[in-house]
Amino acid sequence: MEFRPFSTYYQLANWNIRFFRHVFQEMEPPAVDGTDHEIELYYKAVAYIRDNFYDDQTNIETIASALHVSESTLKRAFQDKPFKVTEQIMEFRLQEARACIRDSNKPIATIASSLNFACPKNFKRLFTKRFMLSPLQYRDSMRLKRLF
């Protein structure tokens, strides 16, 4: 047998190349569960809601249409989040209502109407449920805080 310098090194390198090529060809790509897409969709939907919650036409249907997804895909993106789609819309409206009540002297009914609540009574019920104070109680508590 004739000795050739580096012959085993090249054979080993060649074997490694063939081995790893085979391993990588056999490996299947990881299953895509859509999680990244759903997270991206969730943030896009929240941004859309934040920009459009004033519009009385903002609902699951219009959001899904604007984001070019089905309603069920949109709902799935909100599945394990703190708020579902309609709850997220309501949360933005209630947060805006709270800011308006705190920062202005507009009548509560006017604020409710400007944020597309069906009636002041419904608004009062939702506001009280969310913030544990009625809109008037909240306004009064904010006035007291300003005094001190």
DSSP notation for 31-59: PP-SHHHHHHHHHHHHHHHHHHTTSTT-S
Separation of alpha carbons 146 and 102, rounded Å: 10
Separation of alpha carbons 143 and 80, rounded Å: 37
Cβ contact 40:4 at 8 Å: no
Domains recognised in the chain with CATH numbers:
35-44+53-147 (1.10.10.60)
Instruction: Give the pLDDT confidence of 31-60 residue by residue, as tens digits.
Output: 445 578 999 999 999 999 999 999 999 999
pLDDT band at 70 (very low <50, low <70, confident <90, very high): very high
Cβ contact 77:99 at 8 Å: no
Instruction: Give the pLDDT confidence of 120-148 residue by residue, as tens digits.
Output: 999 999 999 999 999 999 999 998 887 77
For residue 124, count CB atoms less than 10 angstroms from its CB and return exposed for 0-12, middle for 13-18, buried for 19 or more. Answer: middle
